[in-house]
Structure 1
Amino acid sequence: MAHTRLATALSAVLMLAGVAVAAPASAASGPLAGTWTSIDTDGSNQTLDIMGSGGHVYSMIYVDDAATSACNGNPAMITGPGIVDGDVLVMNGTLTCLPGGNVFRSRLTVSFVHDSSTDTLTDDFGIVWQREG
């Protein structure tokens, strides 16, 4: 029981610190799980890791290698859950500027629409994401 509480507390601390907590190897992958990539409007590279079984909630990590407006050109990371509603995946996470981990915004919402015919995601900014692999 104490080990379970310690593991739960440690996971919560790591998530608050912006550290990704990997899903167990035995976890099933949902239809949106995987690594997605895109080019931002400023020309920077973006990666979106979606993890989980896809019941209705995923764990998500969004990385922009040069967040021009949010982090003055430094990399940025958004971590948080993604909630599925039909073909829309809504991420609600914390934006952190890297290196250093300075939180830019406490919570930020980004939506992605999945097009199953092309297996692409389109975000709120009109950027199309391709699945890797």
Structure 2
Amino acid sequence: MNATSSSADAEVRRDGRPGWRRRTATAVVVAGIVAAGSGALAPAASAGGGELAGTWTSTDLDGSHQTLRIRGAGAPVYAMTLRDDFTTGVCGGPPAKLVGHGVTVEDGVSMTGTLVCVRGGNPLPRERISSFFAYDGASDTLTDPSGVVWERAG
């Protein structure tokens, strides 16, 4: 045990709870860890700092129109809504939307959300769906796992 922890331990009140010096020291240590850790966990510059915020559009493999709205500063979390005008999978034709959040990871954004069929409610209650959108800074595009390229809405 070092001298610092000994002096902090000496600041215990009679009821056994830590005194103000120990709480202050703990708060300073926690703040230091958070500040140091935030630099190590910061998203890649190409995908963070709000660069992905905006409206993106694409044409799905089935020919339907898709819109992806990304809101927030992206440090590192975004609010995201994906809307597909026609679904061939789970919703069986009607439009669907995926509403959730995105977290910047390396060279893109990982989205997790709840799928809602626009007509008929949510076919997957309590299920979360995840998808990754790779960001290409040179072309300013996103690419989803199906290989569909998303461009910014002009």
Same fold (TM over 0.5): yes
State the SS of the aligned residue for 1:47: strand
> CA–CA distance in 2 between the matches of 1:101 and 1:36?
25
Counterpart for residue 94 of structure 2: 74
Counterpart for residue 129 of structure 1: 150
Contact 1:57 1:81 in 2 (8 A): yes
Q: Which runs of 4+ in 1 moved over 3 A?
A: none
Aligned counterpart for 1:120 among listed residues 141, 144, 148:
141
Offset at 1:101? 2.5
The TM-score normalised by the length of structure 2 is 0.65
Contact 1:97 1:104 in 2 (8 A): no
RMSD (Å) for aligned C-alpha atoms: 1.3
> CA–CA distance in 2 between the matches of 1:104 and 1:48?
20
Aligned pair 1:35/2:41, yes or no? no
Q: Which has the higher strand share?
A: 1
> CA–CA distance in 2 between the matches of 1:36 and 1:101?
25
Q: Unaligned 5+ residue runs, structure 1?
A: 1-28
Q: Spell out, residue by residue over 1:46-78, the C-alpha distance to the aligned partner (whole angstroms, 9 max, x if none).
A: 000000011100000000000111211100000
The TM-score normalised by the length of structure 1 is 0.75
Report percent identity of matched pairs.
50
Structure with max Cα Rg: 2
**Number of equivalenced pairs:** 105
Q: Spell out, residue by residue over 1:89-115, the C-alpha distance to the aligned partner (whole angstroms, 9 max, x if none).
A: 000100111124223362100100000
Contact 1:94 1:103 in 2 (8 A): no
